[in-house]
Amino acid sequence: MDPIVLLANWFEGVLVGWGAPPWAVNLILSVLGIALLCTVMLLIAIWCVWVERKVVARFQDRLGPNRIGPYGLFQPFTDIIKLLIKEDIEPKGIDKVPYNIAPILALATVLTLWAIIPLSPQVLGSDINVGVLFIVAIGAISTLGIIMAGWSCNNKFALLGALREVATMISYEVPMVIALMIPVILASSMGINKIVESQSPLPYIFVIPLAAVIFLICSQAELGRAPFDLSEAESEIVAGYHIEYSGMKFGMFYAGELLHAFTVGAIFSSLFLGGWSGPFVDRVPVLGVFYLFIKSLFIYWVIMWIKYTLPRLRIDHMLSFNWKFLTPLSLALLMVVAVLHKLLQNANPWVYILGMLVGNIAVGAIALAISRRQVKVERKEFQTNRSVARPPESSPTAPIPDSGGD
């Protein structure tokens, strides 16, 4: 028996024993569950600060925080105390209400995502049948928070940063939604728990690896992390949409960003790595929480690995990568997977997995071959007119020609 479920059942019994009506019992249990989950997640966010700083230090050949506590473990607490006692500055000319709602939205949307992630077979907030779409909807609301932050603080740099971030998010949402459709096709359900359960012989990463890669890339863009961190540019627009925030309001953006990365890890592991499933989960269900966290942390580490290894992309490169490569690729993959699913539906599961794998690899290889050819053409174009100092032949006010090469 799951200790969390056991505890909930015991508490329910106590409440009923006190003579509480069933709806009140339900309400109290739900509120307690929400409070518990949010608290645990916020504590994880605090710990994520330490993990992030330690990992980036290792990638950059430094030690990272190492003064306060063993291995610098208490560093995040001092950071929080610093954020809490900082002056809460409200710049002139701000739009007060959106300015104050934006950091709440930034953190609350991330916490809301945990409502549908199954922690173990029985412990999950809400097993809605549109779970995958729910993730997309919450992403839409977090976009709104960024726009509000950028617009309300009356700073041009913040607005520019917000517009860049939102442009990234709404364009990378397209291939992300299509990539999310692929596990939905395989599991024949949009509920996250059903998707986790249907990854029985092998997790989906071995069945549809290309969809997993597309989802990871798009999540990286959705998180606004390098190589897609265009909203952050130290020399031109500083830190993007949250320049004007100080103290704990900035802290909420920061915590939301870190927790979002961990949450994306959890979503990725639920959709592609089998979520809570692992050895002995059927006998000891609470192990599922442990497996999910291990997998999420691994994906979180992969996200950090990409972030601290790759340089920042230029905005036109980033957008053309999305619209000219990822979107057509994900559409083609969706069609191939849908057809293969119908063809192999009644076949032996291993034949099904092999067929899907071959289909994915073929689509990926064809896409890479096409883009390699395109790159050769583009490279030739750039090699021919190298001279930088030559004045443009057209009028000086002519727009800069698009280097996308279409």
CB 137 to another protein: min, Å? 4
Residues 165-204 that bind another protein (CB under 8 A): 166, 170, 173, 189-190
The amino acid at residue 183 is P
List the structure tokens of 174: 């397209």
- 116 counts as binding another protein under rule CB under 8 A: no
Please check whether residue 92 is in contact with residue 253, taking contact to mean a CB–CB distance below 8 angstroms.
no
- 57 counts as binding another protein under rule CB under 8 A: no
Distances (CA, A) of 186 to 85, 117, 390: 51, 18, 56
DSSP letter for 321, please: I
**Partners of 387 in the β-ladder:** none
Per-position x/- string for 130-159, each x denoting binding to another protein as judged by CB under 8 A, each - no binding: x--xx-xx-xxx-xx--xx--x-------x
Please check whether residue 201 is in contact with residue 277, taking contact to mean a CB–CB distance below 8 angstroms.
no
- 365 counts as binding another protein under rule CB under 8 A: no
Please check whether residue 186 is in contact with residue 197, taking contact to mean a CB–CB distance below 8 angstroms.
no
Binders of another protein: how many residues, by CB under 8 A? 26
Residues 315-354 that bind another protein (CB under 8 A): none
The amino acid at residue 315 is I
Please check whether residue 294 is in contact with residue 317, taking contact to mean a CB–CB distance below 8 angstroms.
no
CB 149 to another protein: min, Å? 13
DSSP letter for 323, please: I
Q: Which is nearer to another protein, 165 or 232 (CB)?
A: 165
CB 80 to another protein: min, Å? 30
CB 34 to another protein: min, Å? 16
Backbone angles phi and psi of 323, in degrees to 5: -80, -30
- 98 counts as binding another protein under rule CB under 8 A: yes
- 115 counts as binding another protein under rule CB under 8 A: no
- 160 counts as binding another protein under rule CB under 8 A: no
Residues 13-52 that bind another protein (CB under 8 A): 23
Give the contacts of 291 (CB within 8 A, at least 6 positions apart). 274, 275, 276, 277, 278, 281
For residue 233, give the 3-state DSSP assignment: strand
CB 71 to another protein: min, Å? 41
- 128 counts as binding another protein under rule CB under 8 A: yes
Four-residue CA torsion sign, 147, 162, 252, 36: positive
- Whole-angstrom Cα distance, residue 175 to residue 328? 8
CB 133 to another protein: min, Å? 4
Q: Which is nearer to another protein, 73 or 163 (CB)?
A: 163
CB 101 to another protein: min, Å? 9
CB 207 to another protein: min, Å? 22
What is the contact surface with another protein in residues (CB under 8 A)? 23, 95, 98, 128-130, 133-134, 136-137, 139-141, 143-144, 147-148, 151, 159, 163, 166, 170, 173, 189-190, 399
